[in-house]
Amino acid sequence: MEQDNFKEQELNVEISEEVAEGVYSNLVMIAHSNSEFVLDFTRIMPGLPKAKVKARVIITPEHAKRLLAALQDNIEKYEAAFGNIVSPAPEESYKLPMTFGGKMGEA
């Protein structure tokens, strides 16, 4: 009988139009305590040394591990379909100001 209680249930997820539009982020800053992980999704603009947090998501350590596994699974599927994602060398990843690989514009 107990096994009947653990049958998979379908989860209906609602999303508002505003949330469905999404938020663009090109940098995530992560902090943690013993009870939570804080993910600050930020947007950096070329030539500006200031980033603006666009969304903050706070999750439990257990959820952080599930997120890590889900991201790894999805990256593997993406690379199988589209090829390897090329990442810059670690020392190049955090140089500011970011120019997105191009020259700075002049007016």
Q: Greater confidence, 11 or 68?
A: 68
Q: State both tokens at 33.
A: 């305590």
Looking at the domain assignment, is residue 54 inside a domain? yes
Residue 47's pLDDT band (cuts 50, 70, 90): confident
Which structural domain, as residue segments, surrounds residue 61? Answer: 23-93
pLDDT value at position 100? 52
The pLDDT assigned to 95 comes to 60
According to the model, what pLDDT value does residue 97 have?
52
Its pTM stands at 0.71
Looking at every residue in the chain, the average pLDDT score rounds to 85
Return the structure tokens found at 102. 């191009």
Is 80 exceeded by the pLDDT of residue 49? yes
- Rounded CA-CA distance 29/32 in Å is 10
- Into how many domains does the chain fold? 1
Would residue 40 count as lying in a domain?
yes
76-88 pLDDT tens trace: 999 999 999 998 7
Pair of tokens at residue 87: 């990442």
Domain-embedded: residue 58: yes
User: Hey, how many other C-beta atoms are within 10 angstroms of the C-beta on 55?
Assistant: 14
